[in-house]
């Protein structure tokens, strides 16, 4: 199903994207177009190797398209931007730094680069110059205040991911990108963090894009679900999922229907 035309300027716009890892290889994306409205939560699913993480890294400015462009807030993204938060599966925490130091890392970098200016016409790549107690407030909000002096090795997987979330949110992003952030966690912890992310998204209205292999996770968190296929991806296949993220959604008939639709589409993309 093609994306509907919107009269509202999108927060994220992918225009005629072409990307390939090799000059003579099959492109991952070929003339691919996609839009995300401000405040939406999207889940991206698809078979292994379909380009889910590649698309996320292009949005983050960590990979450059061969052609086409990515616009965030109407501005091209030639490199990472300060207002994009990125949360990875492996947390990305510094093992020699405490929880408080990890949560405040971006803020310390912001202090260091406070006088730096962006290139003309480009978004500022440096974190904002905010007080360190902003990170402390997020640690308290996420139930980590009593662990502020601990090191990552002393935390559970779920706690480490909470630190990564605190670090990202302390920078006051307008776009949050998450690459399979709960994949390595047990079911109970994973469910708890899914509900935490849903609650935070409802509270903060941050545009959120989540890459996941889990059909159930996509159906619970994604208000819109983008299904990618085996390369080359030319057109987005989108499933609308109203009610996603609400506490009652997991028990609803709509949730089960969306799970079935995702599974059916994924089965159709599997090579014979």
pLDDT digits (tens, 9 = 90+) for 174-224: 999 999 988 878 889 999 999 999 999 999 999 999 999 999 999 999 999
pLDDT digits (tens, 9 = 90+) for 39-97: 999 999 999 889 999 999 999 999 999 999 999 999 898 888 888 999 988 778 999 99
Model-wide pTM > 0.85 = yes
pLDDT digits (tens, 9 = 90+) for 220-249: 999 999 999 999 999 999 999 999 999 899
Specify whether the CB–CB gap between 12 and 59 falls below 8 A.
yes
Instruction: Indicate the residue among 145, 173, 201 that finishes a domain.
Output: 173
Same domain, 182 and 162: no
* C-alpha 190 chain-centroid distance: 16
Same domain, 169 and 224: no
Same domain, 233 and 103: no
Whether 112 is covered by a domain: the verdict is: yes
Instruction: Indicate the residue among 173, 208, 235 that finishes a domain.
Output: 173
**Domain span at residue 123?**
98-173
Same domain, 164 and 59: no
Same domain, 181 and 65: yes
The total domain count for the chain is 2
Instruction: Indicate the residue among 173, 207, 231 that finishes a domain.
Output: 173
Same domain, 214 and 165: no
Same domain, 184 and 156: no
Pairing of strands 237-240, 75-76: unpaired
Whether 89 is covered by a domain: the verdict is: no
């Amino acid at each position: 199903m093609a994306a509907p035309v919107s009269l509202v300027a999108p927060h994220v716009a992918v225009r005629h994207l072409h990307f390939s890892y090799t000059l003579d290889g099959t492109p991952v994306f070929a003339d691919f177009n996609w839009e995300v409205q401000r405040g939406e939560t999207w889940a991206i699913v698809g078979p292994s190797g379909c380009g889910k993480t590649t698309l996320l890294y292009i949005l983050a400015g960590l990979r450059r398209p061969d052609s086409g462009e990515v616009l965030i807030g109407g501005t091209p993204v030639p490199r990472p931007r300060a207002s994009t938060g990125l949360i990875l599966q492996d947390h990305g925490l510094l093992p020699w730094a405490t929880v408080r130091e990890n949560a405040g890392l971006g803020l310390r970098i912001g202090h260091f680069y406070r006088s730096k200016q962006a290139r003309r016409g480009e978004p500022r790549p440096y974190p904002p110059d905010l007080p360190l107690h902003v990170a402390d407030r997020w640690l308290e909000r996420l139930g980590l205040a009593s662990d502020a002096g601990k090191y990552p090795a002393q935390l559970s997987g779920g706690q480490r991911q909470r630190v990564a979330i605190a670090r990202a949110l302390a920078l006051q992003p307008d776009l949050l990108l998450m690459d399979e952030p709960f994949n390595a966690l047990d079911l109970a912890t994973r469910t708890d963090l899914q509900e935490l992310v849903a609650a935070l998204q409802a509270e903060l209205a941050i545009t959120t894009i989540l890459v996941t292999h889990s059909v159930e996770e996509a159906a619970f968190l994604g208000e819109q679900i983008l299904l990618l296929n085996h390369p080359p991806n030319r057109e987005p296949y989108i499933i609308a999922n109203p009610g996603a993220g609400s506490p009652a959604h997991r028990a609803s008939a709509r949730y089960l229907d969306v799970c079935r639709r995702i599974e059916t589409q994924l089965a159709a993309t599997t090579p014979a």
